[in-house]
Structure 1
Amino acid sequence: MEYILGIDIGTSGCKCVLLDQEGKPIITKSKEYFPITKADGTVEQNPNEWYEAAIFCLNQINKLDKVDLKKIVAVSVTGQMQGITLIGKDGNPVRNSILWNDIRSERETNELNKKFGEIMEKTIGFLVTPALTVSKIAWLKEHEPSNWNKTYQFTFAPNFITYKLTDRIIADENNISFSGLNDVKNNCWSDELIRRCEVEKSKIPELTGCFDMIGTVTERAALETGLQEGIPVVAGGGDGGSEKYSIGIEGMSKMIIRLGSAADIGMVVHVDQFKHQDIWPGIRGVMRDYLIISRYTTACAASIKWMRDVFFSELPADSNTYTVMDKEASTVPLGSEGLLYHPYLSGENAPYFNSSLRAKFNGINSGHRRKHFLRAAYEGVSFSIRDVINSVKEFENVQEVFFVGGGTKSKFWVAVLTDVLGKGATIPQYCDAAYGAALMAGQGAGIWDARSKIERNLKNSIKVGFNEENHQKYNEVFKKYMELAGK
C-alpha cells in the first residue's frame, strides 16, 4: 500500500498524518514542543526543533506502526502562519524563529500604521498587527540589525520544513497573506510595500502556488527522515487555509471555527464576489481563486493549556489531563458563579487588534475554586469567539457552522460554545491542517481528485445541537462580558 503524508507545524506541536489510497487518515502521530516565552512578549522557537519533531513522528510511524516510510509517495506541509524564520547564506537558521504571537514589535507596528496605514489597508486588506511578518522585520532591523544583515532569505514555519526536505526556499500564496508585504488582489508580493517598508528584495523568497510541486526529497533529507529520495514535495499552505480546504467549505452560508491555540473563525468565498471592491475583506486561500474571510483570537486553546499548566501542574502535561479538567469544570453551574474571564494572554487580535490588552478574571470571591476558574476560561474563550462573529458583517448570514481543531475533543467545551453561540454545529470526522496538507499533496502530485475524497469523508460527520435555555442564560452573561470589555 502507498501513502500520502501531511505535516503540520503547529504553535505547540507537530502532527504527521498518513492517508491511504482512498484519502482516509490511518495513522496520526504528534510531538509537543515548547516555544520560548518571556514576560516582555517574546515567543520564539528554534526552527530545527520543528524538523526534529517531524522526524520523531515519522520514526514513531515506522517503529510503532510498522509502516515502511519508503511507501510514502508524496508529502506537503502546513503550519502556523505569520512570524518569521531567517535563513543564512550557509543554509542554517540565523536565530530562533519569531512566532506569530510574539508581541515585541508593538512600537514598530504603530509606526508602520502611522506611515503606511492607508496603503496597507488597500493592499493587504487590513492594518498591520504585531503578528505580521513585516512588523517583525521592522523589529529585527531596529534591535538586531546584524541578524537581519546575515539573513539570505526569510520564510514561514511550514515553508522551512519544505526547505529542509528539498533545499528550496519558497513562500506559498496562502502564507504570504499574513506577511504584510503582499498584494491580496493580485495574489503576489507587493513591490510597493516592499519598497516602502525598506525590505531588501533579495531577502524575499520565491512565491509558489499552494498546489505546486516545488521539488523532491533530497538525498540528505531522505537519510534524516526515512522518506524515499525523489518523492514529490507539494508547497502546502497555512494551517487555517489547509484546514478549511480539508472540508471543502465554500460560500457565505458556511463558517468554520477552529479551536486551536488561537481561534480562527472564517469562511471561504470566490474572489469574484469582491473584484469590484477597493478593499478586500480577507486573505487568499490555498485555492488560488478563493478568498478566506477570517478573524482570529489570540488565546483560545492556549488559554486552556495555560490553565492546565498553572492550575493542574500536579498532573502530567498531556491530553489525559484535559479529560480530568472537563469533568471538574462540568461540576460548576453555568456562568461560573459570577466569575468572568477575558482571554487576552498575549494581547488580542480580533476584534480589538490591541497587543496591549491583558487577560483578566473578574468577580473573584472567596468561594471560587480552581474549577470555577476553569469553567470561566471555557466560557470566556467562547464569549471571545462570539464577540468576533458579531463584529464581521460577512458572518451575519451563516447557516452552517463547522467546529474543528484540538478543542473539539472536549465534549464539554463544544457544549459550552454551541450554547453561547445559539447554533448547532458539525464536527467532521476528519478535519485538521495536517489532513488538509496530505489531501493537497495528493492533488498537487496528480495522485487523486481531492474533492471526491473530501465529500466522502464528510458523510461521517457528527452533528451537535445546543440548549436554548442555556443560550438565553448565556446571553445575559455575555452582556456582562462585553461591558467589562468596554463595549
Structure 2
Amino acid sequence: MLLLGIDIGTSSIKVSVVDADTKACIVSAQYPENQENTILSVIPGWAEQSPDMWWEQTKLAIRKLTSHGTFKPQDITAIGVAYQMHGLVVVDKNGDALRNSIIWCDSRAVEIGETAFERIGQQHALEHLLNSPGNFTASKWAWVKANEPDVYRQAHQIMLPGDYIALKLTGTATTSISALSEGVFWDFRTNSLSTDVMQYFGFDQTIFPEIRPLFSEHGTLRKDIAQQLGLQPGIPVSYKAGDQPNNALSLNVLQPGEVAATAGTSGVIYAVSDELVYDRASRINTFAHVNYTVEKPRTGVLLCINGTGILNRWVKDHFGHGVDYRQMNTIGKAVSPGSNGLKILPFGNGAERILHNKILGARFIDLDFNAHGRSHVFRASQEGIAYAFRYGLDIIRENGMNPSIIRAGQANLFLSELFAEIFVDITRVPVELYENDGSVGAALGAGIGSGAFNSPQEAFSQLKALKTIEPQTSDYYEDLYQEWKQLLDDQLAQELKNP
C-alpha cells in the first residue's frame, strides 16, 4: 500500500511516495527543481502567487514522480496535502481562481486587521479567536471586498492553498477547523465560525466550503485527473494541513509540551498545548493543531519569523557568486562568533507578527568596508536569524511554555551546522534533528486519514533522531544577543512611536 504526499511550498512543489508498511519514503520529486518560485510584489509589502501555477507544478511534479519507475502508481491508495498557511484563494462557481493568491507574507491587510481587533474588542477577540485578525486570511478577504468589488461579487468560495489543490484533484471543496482557525475565522469558545468576524466584516458564511475533520475524506480523485497523472481514479484525499502543523505532525509533535521548529523561507517554532493560549499582543499565534477536537483540544502555538531562509537566499544571490550553500556555511564558520561586529536584522519580508505587525525592513548595522567581507555577511546573516528565533522564543516563554528540547528536520537552514550550533547556543535549548520532509509528512497524514494506520503513533513508529545538538558556549553568545536585541528594540520603538 502506497501513500502520496503533496507539499505546496512558497519556493516549489514537492511530492513523495511512502510505503505504508515500512513508513519509508520510496521516491520524491519537486518542481521547479533548480530554481525557486517568484513571489509577486507589485507594491512593496504585497506578496502573491498564482494558484494555477501551484496546480500546474503539482501535476508536473506528480508526473515526474510516477515516471520514476521505482513503484507502481496504481498502488497509491490515498493522498495528503500540506500547504503554505494563511493564503487567500478566491474561486468562482467553476472552481477557477479569480485572482492571484494573497499569500502568507503579504502585509496589505495589516491595518484592516488591527482596526477589526479594536472594534471587536481586543480581549474578546483574544479569548475567542486566540489571535488578532492581523494580516491573516480574514483580513485579506476584507481587503478584496473593499478594493476589488468585481472579484468579491463573482466569488463563489474562498479557501486556503491546500483546499484549492484538493479541489482541483477531486472536484470537491472542503475545509477544516484547523484551516479556519489559521484564517482567524474560528471561535474556540463556541466551536463554530466566528460570529464576531463574520458580522464585523459583513461576510456570508456560504463563502466557506464544507467543514470536515482534518483526517477524513476530502473528495476522491477525478477520473480525468487520474488519467493525466497515471493514478487510480477514486483515490481519497484523506488529509490536508498547513505546512507548520504538518511539519509538527511529521516530527510526531502531537502532545502538550512537544515543540517543533523549521527554518525554510520563513522560520517557525511550533509548540503544542492543551490550553487555549494567546499572547496579549498577538505576537505569537494559536491555531487548532492537526489532532484538535472539541472534546480534546490540541492547539499549536506558532512563532513565525518571515525573514529567515529568504534572507539566506538573498545573501547567496548577492554575495555568494560561485559558491553553494554548503560552501557559504564553511566560509561563514571560519569567522569568529559576532562576525567582527557586523549585525543583521533579518526582517525584510513583510510585516513581522513578533514585531507588532510592523514592516521593519532588514538592516545591516556597523558594516565596515575595511573590516568586513562576504564571510562576515554569511555568518552575520545566520546569527541574525538565530537571534530572531531567540527573540520569539522568549515571547513563547512569557506565555508559559518552556521547551526542554526542540525537534527539527535536517533540512533548509538546519542543514547548516553553523546555523544549528548558533541556534542551540543562543536559545540554550537542545535540538533533535530528524530526516523529515513536508511531503512525506503529508503522505503519512493521508495514511492516518484513510485508515492505513490505526493511530499517529503507528504512522511514526519508525521515527528516530539522526542526532542531538547540545548547547556548548556559556555567556558569550548571550552578550552578543543582548547587543543585537538592543538595536532591534531601538528600531522597533522608533516604528511604534511613528506609525
Asked if these proteins are the same fold (TM beyond 0.5), I'd say yes
Q: Structure 1, residues 57-88: CA drift from partner, whole Å, max 9, x if none? A: 21222223443322211001011111200101
* Matches for 1:97-112 after TM superposition, within 5 Å: 97-112=101-116
Contact in 2 for aligned 1:4/1:442 (Cα 8 Å)? yes
Match of 2:493 in 1: none
State the secondary structure of the residue aligned to 1:35: coil
Q: Which residue identity lines up with residue 5 of structure 1 in the other structure?
A: L
Find the counterpart in structure 1 of residue 15 from structure 2. Answer: 16
2:477 maps to which of 471, 474, 477? 474
Query: Is 1:6 matched up with 2:5?
Result: yes
Q: Which residue in the other structure is 2:304 paired with? A: 296
Q: Distance in 1 between matches of 2:70 and 2:285?
A: 47
Query: Is this contact kept in 2: 1:252–1:394, CA < 8 A?
Result: no
Aligned residue for 1:458, secondary structure, equals coil
Distance in 2 (alpha carbons) for counterparts of 1:304 and 1:330: 14
Q: How does 1:171-186 map to 2 (within 5 A)?
A: 171-186=175-190
Aligned equivalents of 1:407 and 1:334: distance in 2? 18
In 2: Cα distance, 1:396 partner to 1:216 partner: 40
Correspondence list, 1:29-428, <5 A: 29-32=29-32, 33-118=37-122, 119-130=124-135, 132-271=136-275, 282-288=286-292, 289-312=297-320, 314-315=321-322, 321-366=324-369, 367-392=371-396, 393-394=398-399, 396-404=401-409, 405-428=411-434
Change (3 A) 1:307 1:281: closer
- Structure 1 residues 338, 348: closer, same or farther in 2, change over 3 A? farther
Identity %: 23
In the aligned structure 1, how far is the partner of 2:147 from the partner of 2:423? Answer: 41
- The residue identity in structure 1 corresponding to 2:413 is G
Q: Secondary structure at the match of 2:64?
A: helix
Asked whether the equivalents of residues 113 and 139 of structure 2 are also in contact (C-alpha less than 8 Å), the reply is yes
Q: Is the 8 A contact 2:403 2:429 kept in 1?
A: no
What do the CA deviations read for 1:199-230 (whole angstroms, capped 9, x no partner)? 12221222121101122101122123222101
Structure 2 distance, partners of 1:60, 1:212, is 27
Distance 1:401 1:460 in 2: 11
Residues 419, 63 of structure 1: alpha-carbon distance in 2 compared, 3 angstrom cutoff = same
Relative to 1, partners in 2 of residues 1:373 and 1:117: Cα closer, same or farther, differing over 3 Å? farther
Deviates more, 1:359-368 or 1:100-109: 100-109
Give the RMSD, CA atoms, in angstroms.
Answer: 2.3
Distance 1:368 1:474 in 2: 20
Separation of aligned partners in 2, 1:304 and 1:262: 11
- Per the alignment, do residues 364 and 285 of structure 1 end up closer, same or farther by CA in structure 2, a change over 3 Å counting? same
| TM-score of the two chains, using structure 1 as the length reference | 0.91
* Structure 1: unaligned runs, 5 residues or longer: none
* 1:33-53 superposed Cα distances (whole Å, 9 cap, x missing partner): 222134522211111111122
Cross-structure match for 1:25: 25
Contact between 2:130 and 2:286, CA under 8 Å: does it hold in 1? yes
CA contact (8 A) 2:48 2:106 kept: yes
1:424 Cα deviation from its structure 2 partner: 2.0
SS at match of 2:489: coil
- CA drift of 1:252 comes to 4.9
Could you say which residue in structure 2 is the equivalent of 1:432? 437
Contact 2:256 2:298 in 1 (8 A): no
How far apart, CA to CA, are the structure 1 residues paired with 2:419 and 2:232?
41
Take 1:378 and 1:351, find their aligned partners in 2: how far apart are those partners?
18
**How many pairs does the alignment contain?**
474
